[in-house]
Amino acid sequence: MVLAAHLADTHLGYAQYRLWEREDDLYELFSTAYEEALRERVNVIVISGDVFHTPRPPNRAILTFYQQVRRAGEKGVKTLVVAGEHDQLKRRGDVHPLLMLSQITSDVVFIGGTDANTVISQRYVVESNGSRALFYGVNAFPRVMDRVERYKAIFEQVQAAVAKESGRKVLVAHLPIEGLMSTNIEPSVPVDSLPSGFDYYALGHLHIRHISRNKGVLGYPGSLDILSRQEVDEWRRSGKGFYIVDLSREEPEIKKVDLDVRPQFVVEGGKNDVLRELGELLRAVYRKQPIVHIKVSLKKNEEPEFRDKLENLLRKKVLDYRLEVHREDPKLGVAHVPGESWSEAGVISRVYGISEKAALALIRLKDCLSSRSQPDECENEIRDVLLVKDEIQKAQGGA
C-alpha cells in the first residue's frame, strides 16, 4: 500500500488583513496537517505549490516548513514539492526558497523543474509492501498570455516519459483548470490537455476542494485555511484541510482530513437583520475568535449609529470584522463602498469605462509593485497591462 498526503496552497507567511494572529493560524494548521498525515502512516507528503505566500517568506515561515519536513523525514517520509506562482521570484536567475531548501535538506524533494522552462528535475519513486508509485512534477507558469500553450508543450513531454514506466503514476502540478476558476484574466488549462497515463492528478491553485474523474482522478485539496471572503461559503459546505490518497487501489481512493480553522462568517442585509444575525452567531462558543464579513445596506444618515451599535456588539468577541456599506452615490452612479471593496475590478471597470480584464491587469500590476522590491520582478504583470494598453488609452481619451 502507498499512502500519500496531498496538501496545497499552504501560503505560509501570509498575515490575512495584516493580523499576526492570522499568520500564526497558518503555521499552526501546517503543523497540525503534518501531525495528522504522520498519524495516518503516509509514505509520502505532496504539496502542490504556493507553499509560501511570497518568494521572500518571513523567517518563521521558513522555520515552520523546515521543522515539519524534518519531523516527517525522521520517520522516513519525504516531502515532495513543486513551485506555485507565489513561491517563484520574478527576477531571472534568482533561486526561489523551495529549490534552496531542497538543497539544504534531503527531506524536501523538489520535483518541479529548476526553472519555468524545465519539465521535471527528477521523478520520485515510492515503494511499499509490493506497491510502487511514481511522482512527476510541473511548476506553475507565470500569468502570460501564451501560458496554456506552454503547459501543453510540457504535458506532451511528460506523457511521453510516463508511458515507459510501470506502477501507479501521480502528476503534481500547480495550475488552473478551465471551468473551475472564476477569473477572466487568468488563462486556464483545458482538462483534456492534461497528460494521459496518470492515475492521480495532485493539483494546487484552486483554494476550494474539488474531486473529479477524467483521464484519472483529479484532486484539488484547497487551501488549509480560509484565505479570502469568497472561500467562506465553501468552507461551511466542505471544510478545510487536505487529502489522504490511497494509491494501491485500482482507482485512487481519497479521504478528506478536516482541520479546525478559525471560523469566518458572511452576514448580509439591512441594518436590523445584520445586527440580529450577528447576535445569534456570537452566542456560540468558538475555539478562536471568528472573523466576520458584513455587507449592509444603509441610508447615509444611518451609518454613524449603525457603526456604534456594531462596535458595542462585536467588541472582544471577534478577531476582526470587515464592513462593506452599500448606499447610492449620485456622483458615481454606482453603489459606493467606503473602505475596502470586494469587487475592486468591477468598480474600476464601471468608473473608468474599461473591461474587467483590463481592470484586473492594472490591479495585479499594482499589487506586484507594492509587494516586490524591484520593478523588474513584475515583468509578467507589466506585459499583461501592455496587452490592454490601447483599451485603457481609448477610455481616457488618449491616442
Amino acid 397: pLDDT? 66
Amino acid 199: pLDDT? 95
Q: Does residue 310 contact residue 339 with C-beta atoms inside 8 Å? A: no
Q: How far apart are CA 287 and CA 290, in angstroms?
A: 9
Angle formed at CA 106 by CA 136 and CA 27, multiple of 5 degrees: 85
> Judging by beta carbons within 10 Å of its beta carbon (0-12, 13-18, 19+), is residue 161 exposed, middle or buried?
middle
Question: What domains are there in the chain, each with its CATH number?
Answer: 3-258 (3.60.21.10), 263-340 (3.30.160), 343-399 (no CATH)
pLDDT at 184 over 90: no
Per-residue pLDDT reduced to its tens digit, 197-255: 899 999 999 999 999 998 899 999 999 999 999 899 999 999 999 999 999 888 999 99
Q: Which of 46-55, 100-109, 147-156 has the lowest mean pLDDT?
A: 147-156
pLDDT at 343 over 70: no
Across 151-166, average pLDDT: 86
Q: How far apart are CA 210 and CA 177, in angstroms?
A: 11
Amino acid 340: pLDDT? 41
The three grid cell numbers given for residue 164, joined into one nine-digit string: 515507459
Q: Where are the beta strands (DSSP E) in the chain?
A: 3-7, 44-47, 78-81, 108-110, 124-128, 131-138, 168-174, 200-204, 210-213, 217-220, 241-246, 253-258, 264-270, 291-297, 320-329, 334-336
Amino acid 369: pLDDT? 66
Q: Does residue 50 contact residue 56 with C-beta atoms inside 8 Å? A: no
